[in-house]
Amino acid sequence: MTESFEARVREAVRLLRAAGRVAAFTGAGISTESGISDFRSPGGVWDRHRIVTYQEFIGSAEARREYWVMKRELHRELLRAEPNRAHTALAELEKAGWLDCLITQNIDGLHQRGGVPPEVVIEIHGTNLEAECLGCGLRVPIEQIQERLDGGEAELHCSECGGMVKPATVMFGQSMPEEKMRRAYDCAAGCDLLFMIGSSLQVEPAASIPRVARKAGASLIFVNRTETPWDHIASIRFSEPAGEVMGRIAGVLEP
């Protein structure tokens, strides 16, 4: 028989209080409650637009134009989004000393906007809030790029060196950032408790992060609306909304 919601909350709080170091790993599911589409869900970005790989982006002007159309649509969605209760609950846990590091697959910046210090957040897939030059590495706010796109530019080049510009996100076919992945694995391997919130755990190498934590002896708390291939390694599993779960846990921990 499945334990009640409150019984699972109490057990989650018990594990949290017993842990020396606590980490969180988040995916698209934590941001759907903020109105951001899950890329893989029906009606999501990849249901409306084909995936443009990094190699296509580099080699084809037509692929770049196609990619920027998708990014313009995503940017409008991001502008409307606000941090939800799951984001702010994690910020409360961090502020109270209950959260040491936060690994995210998300590119929306909602953890930082929700109150988690930037230095605590490890964005392994980059950020959609900036664009970067592939030539000199210059980074600019994505709003500047949107203005240029809205002004009719189809080919975006760096204002400093003339190099190709792309969002500061990791595209399909592009290598994962080594330093951030090292930090993420160190975070997972060094924690006693890991919250896994809103990830399908199907995209590698990010999907291996909870397994790294479990192998190192950590307890896992899964907060996910749907099942994952790795539910069997979780100590506790919640299928309720992330905002409800994390808000309740943070509320119990309030002094």
- 236 strand-pairing partners: 221
Q: Which of 75, 87, 111, 125 is catalytic?
A: 125
Query: Which helix (H) or strand (E) segment is 222 a member of?
Result: strand 219-223
Q: Write the DSSP assignment of 70-82 as a string of letters.
A: HHHHHHHHHHH--
Beta strand 236-238 with 219-223 is parallel
Rounded CA gap, 88 and 175, in Å?
A: 31
* Neighbouring residues of 154: CB distance < 8 A, sequence distance ≥ 6: 61, 65, 68
Q: Is 44 helix (H, G, I), strand (E, B) or coil?
A: coil
Three-class DSSP category at 63: helix
CB 132 within 8 A of CB 165: yes
Known active-site residue 125: yes
The token duo for 172 is: 């399909």
Gap between the Cα atoms of 72 and 185, Å rounded: 32
Annotated catalytic residues are 125
